[in-house]
Structure 1
């Protein structure tokens, strides 16, 4: 994923990994439904689609999150630049 902070004018590339103790099929169902994003994106306050189709490369959305309770909210525009399917264990 890449985030773009308009106030700084920079793009940041990062990867997030998380282990989920559920069958792969169930995880795929949960990830396919944007309503479940707060379950795996900690601190999400708002997830607003901007363009594209959820889960497809090129999709953009606005995400607002709080790093910790009581701290100011942060916002970023995210673009999905890669989507892998299957078993990608390293």
Structure 2
């Protein structure tokens, strides 16, 4: 399953990238994030891996992020692996006039094992769920920039 989404954030690109790139900000816009733990490599750089733990319902979901490309301020790519799910995410950040940034996020999801059934049954909900993160970052970044 593959889809592309975009949103315009009313924050200059330099400030957008500064907020996006700071792990201390993740919990401010990623709902349910309980922890972010660097595992290997230089945090934030290509090749680095980190463990993200999210609260989901009554349980938790753990995923491993691997940064595959980091060409900021233009591009940030990573893979996100959880049990039965492999997500490839390409994020492009483009200047959108004075004081705004256009974020284009391309997601590819690959499912294995029992998660293939989840992908078929609930695949339509993935874009909606992903877009909530873009909207949450927009709200966070714009409120931080007004402060």
TM-score, reference length from structure 2: 0.42
What is the rounded CA distance, in whole Å, between the counterparts of 1:66 and 1:38 in structure 2? 11
- Provide the rounded CA distance (Å) in 2 between the counterparts of 1:82 and 1:17: 19
Per-residue CA distance 1:25-84 (angstroms, 9 max, x = gap): 1111112321001233232111011112232111100100123xx431111122111224
Which residue of 2 is the match for residue 80 of structure 1? 67
Q: More helix by proportion, 1 or 2?
A: 2
Shift of 1:18: 6.2
Cα distance in structure 2, aligned partners of 1:15 and 1:38: 24
Structure 2, unmatched stretches of 5+, are 75-93, 96-101, 105-147
Higher strand share: 2
Match of 1:35 in 2: 24
Q: Which of structures 1 and 2 has the bigger CA Rg?
A: 2
SS at match of 2:10: coil
Partner of 1:54 in structure 2? 43
Runs of 5+ unmatched residues, structure 1: 1-13
80-89 or 45-54, which deviates more:
80-89
Counterparts of 1:15 and 1:80, CA distance in 2: 20
Is the 1:34–1:54 contact (alpha carbons within 8 Å) kept by the matching residues of 2?
no
Closer, same or farther in 2 for the Cα pair 1:15/1:79, shift >3 Å? farther
